[in-house]
Structure 1
Amino acid sequence: MNQQLPRLLPTSLTDETFGGVTYHIGGELVPVLSVDVSRCPVYFEHHILLWKHSNVRIGIRPVKGAVKRMLAGMQVFITEASGDGIIAFSRDGAGHIVPIHLGAGQELHVREHQFLAATSNIEYTFERVRGITNMLFGQTGFFIDRFRGHDGDGVLWLHGYGNVFEKVLAAGETIDIEPGGWLYKDPQVQMDTVVDRLSSGLFGAGFNFIVNRFTGPGRVGIQSMYVNNATDER
């Protein structure tokens, strides 16, 4: 059995170059991502802009399946930055910014609301998953964002709450994660919901103990803190 613990991913990077951009990640409690978009545009959630050089232009990039996303209360449009300069992003919450390098044809599945930014050559779609969180939050399901390298190498940046750890699962290896604790997974990693009924033996009282079970091979990202965006007052 593989007893290796999930590893803490780097919390800061300087002058990292990949997929046509050079980027930096710095800060402690609320990290900042700075990206030079002079050679490759970057799209991002509109509310995370912190600062930019004046030469950097902002435009609109539509998302496929806009009607379905609108009916589910998800964002319909995302913004895109291009031009000669640097743009910086941060999210209003203590956390950890994680860069994922994707080659052409590579894909990653990400928990909804935790996408930060991506280079323009990465495709962005989504799928609805039912029966995973409805037992916890009274929902009928949630979305998984799907990012895929399309035209050469690209970078996807995610925001995890708390710190982000990564577990690489061997074929057939499993790990159980609290339903709010996972951040991303490789497409070939299978995700199931496991419910154990725990009983106190007193007047038949008990409660459900729920985890998401991930089966390898592939990577799973784990965040040490979870913010439920569906019920969060912010």
Structure 2
Amino acid sequence: MICPRCHSQVAEGIKFCGTCGSPLQSPTPPPPPARAAYPPPNQGAYTPPNQGVYTPQNQYEEYSNSMFGNSVPKAELHNPKGPIQIADMTISIDGELVPVVDIMLGNQMPIYFEHHILLWKHPGVQIGFKSLQGAARRFFAGLQIFITEAHGPGNISFSRDSVGQIVALRLQPGQTVEVREHQFLVASGNVDYGFTFVQNAANILFSRTGLFIDQFTARGGEGIVLLHGYGNVFEKMLAPGEALDVEPGAWLWKDPSVQMTVTTVAGSQRGGGILGAIGGLVAGASIVLNRFVGPGRVGIQSMTYHPPTTEGAPQAGGQSNLNLNLGDLF
């Protein structure tokens, strides 16, 4: 077999060129033999039941009939089944307990991703750094200044070291989604990666959200952001003024229209006096709760998020990364 891109000799049955990384199409299989009509024509028309076909629940959320219409990004939850096509890339989600995001990159649209989540890649995929806008502000805020960028063609895959589910957020030009820090996996190159400050000092001190929330905005065409939610991921849609109190660490993403404040477990009670407050405290895992007020949507994960341990830190059985010498990097 000859690679159509670089004209190198490739063995039969190989999916990717070992020289340039281009995908190779297998020879077209012969058409299946003709099958007899079912049932016989003299028994009348009959459509057999659709057996063995499974359509996963909530595979692709449609909001055309909701109050938000098409003004919010569409979310594909529960490890989307079937390939997702964005620009010249194809995204597939494999696995169940610890899902893998597998991306076939073309020549045009790059992707960027967080550090330490790369699982495998084809040698033809080029890895580099992508600088972010507002580098000085990000530096003083303690956020990432550089993230990793990948250019095709070729195959590349990602996974986070935790049980969970993948959420795919499709963003049309101008649409924005806000995501909890360190929970995004991959985004297409036409999606801007910024941040916004958490409002309210109580939010910062007690809600375990931190000082900042990641913001992703699509520019110049449809983009995509892939998130890893711990445990199972669910979506709550809030009407204008409707409130939802959520265990801190359990929210994953939200629409910018959803306001986030903080309330105590006792303050979340309708009444009951001191006994009601104690009962609410015993029922909850924290003294405080995040309160989300609509309109908009909130993504919720069933496992509480824990900030990642610094790689090589004593908690992980190693030494602090601050003691790392430059020679150790090569």
Q: TM bucket by the smaller chain?
A: 0.7 to 0.9
Q: 2:246 aligns with which of 177, 195, 201?
A: 177
**Is the contact made by 1:8 and 1:165 (CA closer than 8 Å) also made in structure 2?**
no
Counterpart position of 2:255: 186
Shift in Å, 1:173: 1.8
Distance 1:28 1:71 in 2: 38
Distance 2:100 2:175 in 1: 26
Counterpart position of 2:300: 222
**Is the contact made by 1:31 and 1:97 (CA closer than 8 Å) also made in structure 2?**
yes
**Is the contact made by 1:103 and 1:154 (CA closer than 8 Å) also made in structure 2?**
yes
What is the number of residues matched between the two proteins? 223
Cα distance, 1:175–1:20 mapped onto 2, change above 3 Å = farther
Equivalent position amino acid for 2:128 in 1: G
Secondary structure of the 1:160 match is strand
Secondary structure of the 2:144 match is coil
Counterpart position of 1:210: 288
Residue pairs, 1:135-214, within 5 angstroms: 135=206, 141-197=210-266, 209-214=287-292
Q: 2:95 aligns with which of 18, 21, 27?
A: 27
Q: 2:148 aligns with which of 59, 72, 79?
A: 79
Secondary structure of the 2:304 match is coil
Shift in Å, 1:9: 2.6
Which of the pair has more CA radius of gyration? 2
Say if 2:117 is the partner of 1:48: yes
**Is the contact made by 1:164 and 1:224 (CA closer than 8 Å) also made in structure 2?**
yes
Residue pairs, 1:4-153, within 5 angstroms: 9-38=77-106, 39-129=108-198, 130-135=201-206, 141-153=210-222
Distance 1:124 1:110 in 2: 11
Secondary structure of the 1:229 match is coil
**Is the contact made by 1:12 and 1:26 (CA closer than 8 Å) also made in structure 2?**
no
Q: What fraction of aligned residue pairs are identical, expressed as a percent?
A: 49
**Is the contact made by 1:60 and 1:77 (CA closer than 8 Å) also made in structure 2?**
yes
Cα distance, 1:184–1:30 mapped onto 2, change above 3 Å = same
Per the normalisation by structure 2, the TM-score is 0.61
Cα distance, 1:10–1:53 mapped onto 2, change above 3 Å = same
> Relative contact order, CA 8 A, sep 6+: which one is greater?
1
- Write 1 or 2 for the structure with the bigger share of strand: 1
Distance 2:191 2:156 in 1: 18
- Write 1 or 2 for the structure with the bigger share of helix: 2
Counterpart position of 1:3: none
RMSD (CA atoms)? 2.7
Shift in Å, 1:231: 6.3
Secondary structure of the 1:222 match is strand
Per the normalisation by structure 1, the TM-score is 0.85
Cα distance, 1:158–1:10 mapped onto 2, change above 3 Å = same
Equivalent position amino acid for 1:104 in 2: P
88-97 or 18-27, which deviates more: 18-27
Counterpart position of 1:4: none
What whole-Å deviation, never above 9, does each CA across 1:90-139 have from its counterpart, x for those lacking one? 011111111100000000000111111100000110123243142266x9
**Is the contact made by 1:58 and 1:82 (CA closer than 8 Å) also made in structure 2?**
yes
Secondary structure of the 2:206 match is helix
